[in-house]
Amino acid sequence: MALSISKEFVDAIIAQAYAELPNECCGVILGPAGSGKAEKLKPMVNAAASPVFYEFAPVDLLSLYRGLDHEDEEIVVVYHSHPTSEAHPSSSDIEYAGEPAAHYVLVSTREEIAPNVEFRSFRIIDGAVTEEEVLISPQGE
Amino acid sequence: MTIEVRIPTILRPYTKDQKIVSAQGVTLFEVIDDLEKNYRGLADRLIENGELRKFINVYINDEDVRFSGGLATPTKAGDSITILPAVAGGQIMASR
């Protein structure tokens, strides 16, 4: 098990995490249904606008899923940032993880490790968290 | 005429993997009650203490029922209901 993701997307997610400080940022990466390929980065608005919580706005959620049906796509990655804690799923992340097939990516921009960041990926299935390798492919691939 | 209900991936184990199921009822509550007859266990994933669970979003056609009366929202033949678990989380538990 591993997440394959382009460097371009990794950089964009980290940039989004910094841009939305002090709040958590969030988004998804979509791919053709059944492919498991992270091809289309889609930043989402954090409707909770909170440093410790994120939630896609219900109206955005509906249009996201309508779009998936329309384009025959799936959610390959669900990502969000933790501004002040490590890049590991919290109890609420685990409780609300609703896409068993998705990679859950967490980014930590906490000060203790600056200027470094953590970028980690997990599977969350029925409350069980398994970390997986992140394979970053060069730009343009 | 019946009402179409779109089931999210995480709840499809209750609907024998069907993405779209049909049900009847004149309120959202009745529709869920009707679904429960065929898909046992589903209602408990949607309702808690007589209300829609937090972090479960239900839309009738394109309207979020949170703004139209929740479980009491009227439904009619030909409506399309979409159930989507919130995509949410974060460092701490939310109080919503």
- Domain hosting A87: range is 2-113
A86 part of a folded domain? yes
Of B59, B82, B87, nearest to A98 by CB-CB distance is B87
Q: Domains in chain A: how many in total? A: 1
Q: How far is A90 from chain B (nearest CA, A)?
A: 6
Q: What is the mean pLDDT of residues A25-50?
A: 97
Q: How many CB pairs under 8 A join A and B?
A: 92
Comparing alpha-carbon positions, the chain B residue that sits nearest to A101 is: B9
The structure tokens listed for A124 are 């969350």
* Four-CA torsion B42, B79, A73, A21, nearest 10 degrees: -80
Residue A125 in domain: no
pTM value > 0.90: yes
Residue B95 predicted with pLDDT over 70: no
Which of A92, A103, A106 is the mutation pick for testing B, counting most B CBs within 10 A? A92
Task: Give the distance from residue A58's alpha carbon to the nearest chain B alpha carbon, in angstroms.
Answer: 7
pLDDT digits (tens, 9 = 90+) for B63-84: 999 999 999 999 999 999 999 9
Per-residue pLDDT band for A64 (boundaries 50, 70, 90) equals very high
Q: Are B89 and A101 an interchain contact pair (Cβ–Cβ within 8 Å)?
A: no
Q: What is the mean pLDDT of chain A?
A: 95
CATH number of the domain encompassing residue A6: 3.40.140.10
Percent of chain A with pLDDT over 70: 98
Q: Which pLDDT score is estimated for A138?
A: 87
Question: Cα–chain-centroid distance for residue B59?
Answer: 8
A70 by Cβ neighbours in 10 Å (0-12 / 13-18 / 19+) ranks as exposed
Would you say residue A25 has pLDDT above 90?
Answer: yes
Q: What percent of chain B has pLDDT over 90?
A: 89
Q: How far is A92 from chain B (nearest CA, A)?
A: 5
- Which residue, A44, A74, A75, is CA-closest to A59? A44
In a domain, A51, yes or no: yes
**pLDDT above 90 for B96:** no
Tell me whether residue A17 is in a domain.
yes
Query: If we measure between CA atoms, which residue out of A83, A89, A80, A82 comes closest to residue A122?
Result: A89
Q: Are A83 and A100 in contact (CB under 8 A)?
A: no
pLDDT digits (tens, 9 = 90+) for A120-132: 999 999 899 999 9
| ipTM field | 0.91
Domains of chain B: 3-85 (3.10.20.30)
A134 occurs within a structural domain: no
Cα–Cα distance, A49 to A22 (Å, whole number): 9
Asked whether residue A40 is assigned to any structural domain, the reply reads: yes
